[in-house]
Amino acid sequence: MQKEQRNNAYIDGANLHRGIQSQGWILDYRRFRIWLREKHSVKNAYLFLGMIPKHRMLYQSLQEVGFILVFKEVVFDRDGKPKGNCDADLVLQATIDFFHKAFQKAVVVTSDGDYAGLVKMLHSHKALEMIVSPAQEKKCSILLKRSNAPITYLGQSRLRPLLEFRKEKAPDADGTAQGSSSW
């Protein structure tokens, strides 16, 4: 019997959201969390994002489906656009966890080349399970591609139907709901 792995996922929340959105679909975070657990043996899924109080219901939903939220203070630019860069926090958490042997392998969810150093370090120590890129292959950073680490692209035709959010349809004449439910 194979021993179950204790893998951790480190997710750049803004990069995940924007990468999926740029492809014209919405990620079902509940299904994504299940996919991480079943496909990559992820026990702890750390989701790094900026804290914007008006999104507290979203944060609660994400926690309910199994994400561990790590917040970054948000600042706003001149146009009122929020900026909560979590790159350093994600790299620091993954590095601390690596040195404390808090996981067997890491899954890094991003398309951002700023994580290439972390990916190379984890890969060289055989502690990287996979990079999961929310962007299409042509938009994923060349720095991540050059790391020679395995990359899965969420926009692949085989993954999108599995992970895409589908609104629940109205009840049928018999009162039963049709379609998929999500949070």
Q: Which domain holds residue 118?
A: 7-163
Nearest-Å Rg of the Cα atoms of the chain is 17
**Is residue 176 predicted with pLDDT exceeding 80?**
no
The stretch 143-156 carries a mean pLDDT of 94
pTM for the predicted model, two decimal places: 0.87
CATH number, domain containing residue 87: 3.40.50.1010
Percent of the chain with pLDDT over 90: 75
Which residues, in sequence order, are CB contacts of 164 under 8 Å at separation 6+?
25, 26, 27, 28
Comparing 1-5, 19-23, 50-54, the range with the smallest average pLDDT is 1-5
**Segment 29-58, tens digit of pLDDT:** 999 999 999 999 999 999 999 998 899 999
Give domain status of residue 183, yes or no. Answer: no
